[in-house]
Amino acid sequence: MTTIHLIVGTTMGASEYIADALIPYIEESGCAYQLHNPADLATLPINEKQIWFVVTSTHGAGDYPESIQDFAHQLTVQRPSLKGLRYGVIALGDSSYDTFCEAGLKIDALLQDLGGVQTAEPLKIDIQEYPIPEDAAESWIPSWLEKVNK
Ligand SMILES: Cc1cc2nc3c(=O)[nH]c(=O)nc-3n(C[C@H](O)[C@H](O)[C@H](O)COP(=O)(O)O)c2cc1C
């Protein structure tokens, strides 16, 4: 069975709500899930039965939010080979910033650079457009799950 590892990057909790909202969809699709908040590279398996799914906001000026900073640092320093590992990204942000969704885009580029297989372009959710960002995630996730479960 495929396990989807929900890796949360949040400072104020919104990305965690999004990750929580995805869980019933994952369960219904027949996949297992594990929530990592905060994520630690040492506890994340890397093989073809796993999918890493990052849900992260952006803080500072295009920076990672608190709960994912250590994980991003571990990836950057340890540079594990993610060859064959599938991953997806939901990037939460506010389009009034020049650095809209930059943390999500940064981790997408990093996972790809380490050999990860991108399952879809990152879903960018703008809180200006979606005051309840889970709504955008819940509309998107069924087609993504269908694609990765094929
Ligand atoms: C101090 C601060 C800085 C922010 N910087 C950015 C940014 O650079 N780019 C962006 O897209 N959104 C930025 N945001 C918007 C957050 O990503 C947005 O509020 C998000 O919903 C927070 O999610 P969280 O509760 O999971 O941390 C910023 C928000 C705050 C409070």
Q: Is the CB of 14 under 6 A from ligand 1?
A: yes
Alpha-carbon Rg of the chain, whole angstroms?
Answer: 14
The partner residues of 33 in beta bridges, in order of sequence, read: 4
> Are the beta carbons of 115 and 82 closer than 8 angstroms?
yes
What torsion do the CA atoms of 139, 148, 21, 32 make, to the nearest 10 degrees?
160
Q: pLDDT tens, position by position, for the chain (150 residues)?
A: 999 999 999 999 999 999 999 999 999 999 999 999 999 999 999 999 999 999 999 999 999 999 999 999 999 999 999 999 999 999 999 999 999 999 999 999 999 999 999 999 999 999 999 999 999 999 999 999 999 998
What SS3 state is found at 40? coil
Please give the CATH architecture assigned to the domain spanning 3-145.
3-Layer(aba) Sandwich (3.40)
Domain spans, the chain: 3-145
Q: Is the CB of 93 under 6 A from ligand 1?
A: yes
Closest Cα to atom 4 of ligand 1: 59
> Are the beta carbons of 88 and 55 closer than 8 angstroms?
no
pLDDT for res 8: 98
Q: Is the CB of 129 under 6 A from ligand 1?
A: no
- CA of residue 3 to ligand 1 center, whole Å: 29
Q: Which residue type sits at 97?
A: Y
What SS3 state is found at 94? coil
